[in-house]
Amino acid sequence: MTDDNEDTQARILHYARNKFGDDIENLLDDPHGWFGTAPPGEVTAWFRDRRQLAQDLGLDFDAIVQRTGTEFERERLQKIEAKARAQ
């Protein structure tokens, strides 16, 4: 791989990691705006996909939520995920 390709990949990965963190922050601010009236299966799939994406990016979904959200936001998000999984 050339240095240009490595630099490009590093920039893309850096951008993706930052964008992922921004998305989690926005989700924590207004989870109902993200999920609206989505059926539980879609919400469960969303969490599964985001957890996989975080892992692919070398990130920890729960650590980002812990670091970014307030206690209220974290608990609200956990309840949304748990409710979707239970249905």
Q: Has residue 62 been placed in a domain?
A: yes
Residue numbers in the chain where pLDDT is lower than 50 = none
Q: Has residue 4 been placed in a domain?
A: no
Q: Look up the pTM and report it.
A: 0.84
Q: Has residue 57 been placed in a domain?
A: yes
State residue 2's pLDDT score: 67
C-alpha distances out from residue 46 to 1, 4, 29, 42, Å: 34, 34, 17, 6
Q: Has residue 42 been placed in a domain?
A: yes
Three-class SS state of 38: coil
Q: How many domains, in total, are found in the chain?
A: 1
Q: Domain containing 49: what range?
A: 16-86
- Burial (CB < 10 A; 0-12, 13-18, 19+), residue 27, is buried
Q: Has residue 5 been placed in a domain?
A: no
Q: Has residue 8 been placed in a domain?
A: no
Q: Has residue 3 been placed in a domain?
A: no
Going through 1-87 in order, the beta strands assigned E by DSSP cover: none
